Amino acid sequence: MHELSIAYNIVQIADDAAREAGVERVDAVHLRLGQLSGVVSEALLFGYDIAAQGTRLEGSRLEIEDVPVVIFCAQCRAERELESIQVFCCPECGTPSMDIRSGNELEIGYVEYSDEPAHS
Amino acid sequence: MWSTAMNPRILEIRKGVLEKNDVLAASLRERFRKAGVLVLNVVSSPGSGKTALLEVTLQRLLAQGYRAAALVGDLATDNDAARLARSGASVRQITTSGNCHLEAHMIGDHLRDWKLEVEGLDFLFIENVGNLVCPSHYDLGEDIRVVMLSVTEGEDKPLKYPPMFNSADAAVITKVDIADAVEFDRAQTITNINSVRPGMTIFETSAKRGTGIDAWIAFLIAQHDALKSPAAR
């Protein structure tokens, strides 16, 4: 169970970026999560709310984009999406492949924020 | 959205969540490469026989004149380090106080506190915390990630933990001396390993009987020699 520490990393990186950009309040964080990352979304979402407390991200949404595993098949000369991460073979022709083109992602794409109404 | 005062805006970040660890691991790797030390990150479930195999491995490498050391990660206790130190190698325990995996900064910190000169080593073994989930994300600057599984664990282990098996470079099946007693399905295990990680180098060992240890040691020495040869990289 390391999702909480990953959640703290996400919050720290996004909070630092927001501060540098002069953003006071973040509405959402978009995360790209590869199937091979081994991170459990539910546990991460649970940890995120805790980690976000007291930061610019408090109360914000964590939006997770699941990224499938894509390999390059040397036989077909094409990128193919795996049907299962238990079988690293081309789903078309069955050739094994370790030429992984995506699926290891654990990265923050961007954050969403709103223009705050001018302070009165 | 209907409020004119609130316009959604985007701030691009594009950063790996574990970037800090990855950067640190890359600098460790560079240091290890310069020193000519082969670094192995050994991962498995608890009780698969990491310490027993490392004990034999350290003894054998030392007997052949190589210099070897081990960093041993555990949630608590220094029993494994004490056991490995009997081989005569330099051994240091990393107690993670509940953390389920090792991270690159722990390796860097312990090497510094230990005052271990990596330049004087041929091999450094990092025995990770017994866990097949969390250690898979954390690069420790190793050259080779070795995943171990014992014959008692069931042939579907690779299918249950694909990210870990897929990220490993070599697999060691341990405790083969009791394979028959536990009705170990060898062919199915090897099929499953190759399904999750095509082309994985696989060793079949018994630390107790010495089975398969020659091939394992020969592999380590060949990898170490390749690291030292200028044509290697």
pLDDT tens digit sequence for A35-53: 999 899 999 999 999 999 9
Mean pLDDT of the residues in chain A: 94
Convert the pLDDT of each residue in B72-114 to its tens digit: 998 888 888 888 988 889 999 998 887 889 999 999 999 998 8
Nearest to B55 by CA among B127, B115, B122: B127
Q: State whether A13 and B8 contact (CB < 8 Å).
A: no
Convert the pLDDT of each residue in B215-226 to its tens digit: 999 999 999 999
Nearest to B145 by CA among B46, B15, B52, B50: B50
Compute the nearest-CA separation of A111 from chain B (Å). 5
The three state secondary structure string of chain B is CCCCCCCEEEEEEEEECCHHHHHHHHHHHHHHHHHCCEEEEEEECCCCCHHHHHHHHHHHHHHCCCCEEEEEEECCCCHHHHHHHCCCCEEEEEECCCCCCCCHHHHHHHHHHHCCCHHHCCEEEEECCCCCCHHHHCCCCCCEEEEEEEHHHCCCHHHHCHHHHHHCCEEEEECHHHCCCCCCCHHHHHHHHHHHCCCCEEEECECCCCECHHHHHHHHHHHHHHHHCCCCC
Which residue is closest to B13 within chain A, CA to CA?
A110
Q: State whether B16 and A1 contact (CB < 8 Å).
A: no
Model pTM score? 0.91
Exposed, middle or buried, B181 (CB in 10 Å: 0-12/13-18/19+)?
A: exposed
Nearest to B176 by CA among B206, B154, B147, B208: B206
Which A residues 46-105 touch B at CB under 8 Å?
85-89, 96-98
Which ipTM score applies to this complex?
Answer: 0.89
Q: What gap in Å lies between CA A59 and CA B62, rounded to an integer? A: 56
Q: Which residues of A touch B11 (CB under 8 A)?
A: 17-18, 21, 23, 110-113
Q: Decide if A41 touches B, using CB distance below 8 A.
A: no
Convert the pLDDT of each residue in B29-70 to its tens digit: 999 999 999 999 999 999 999 999 999 999 999 999 999 999
Q: Which residues of A touch B129 (CB under 8 A)?
A: none
Exposed, middle or buried, B24 (CB in 10 Å: 0-12/13-18/19+)?
A: buried
Q: State whether B166 and A85 contact (CB < 8 Å).
A: yes
Looking at per-residue pLDDT, the higher value among B99 and A112 belongs to A112
CB A48 within 8 A of CB A11: yes
Side chain identity at residue A19, one-letter code: R
Q: State whether B14 and A108 contact (CB < 8 Å).
A: yes
Compute the nearest-CA separation of B211 from chain A (Å). 29
The helix/strand/coil state of A33 is strand
What's the pLDDT score for residue B127? 94
**Strands in chain A per DSSP E:** 26-34, 61-67, 70-73, 78-81, 100-102, 106-114
Query: In this complex, which of B9, B17, B136 lies closest to A108 when CB atoms are compared?
Result: B17
